């Protein structure tokens, strides 16, 4: 969904678990949490706080961990 990146909750190199919130995006005047889908390490963050995003935009890359 299109929206505005309100807050980035992780950093590159950070270990995360599945279902950990990674971003908050504001869309239609509502804040939506974006969660990690798997345990892993944040490899890259493609967006900045305050940036507008569209549906399908790449936000974060997470490398799966054992």
CA–CA gap between residue 24 and residue 40 (Å, rounded): 19
* 37 in Cβ contact with 21 (< 8 Å): no
Going by C-beta distance under 8 Å and a sequence separation of 6 or more, which residues neighbour residue 49?
5, 6, 7, 8
Domain count, the chain: 1
pLDDT at 57: 95
> In CATH, what number is assigned to the domain containing residue 28?
2.40.50.100
Backbone angles phi, psi at 64, to 5 degrees: -65, 140
pLDDT at 65: 81
pLDDT at 38: 86
CA–CA gap between residue 42 and residue 15 (Å, rounded): 7
Task: Dump pLDDT digits (tens) for 4-63.
Answer: 999 999 999 999 998 999 999 999 999 999 998 889 999 999 999 999 999 999 999 999
């Amino acid at each position: 969904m299109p929206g505005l990146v309100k807050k980035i909750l992780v950093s590159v190199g950070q270990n995360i678990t599945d279902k950990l919130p990674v971003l908050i995006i504001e869309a239609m005047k509502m804040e939506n949490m974006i969660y990690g889908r798997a345990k892993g390490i944040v490899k890259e963050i493609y967006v900045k706080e305050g940036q507008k995003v569209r549906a399908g935009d790449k936000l974060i890359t997470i490398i799966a961990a054992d």
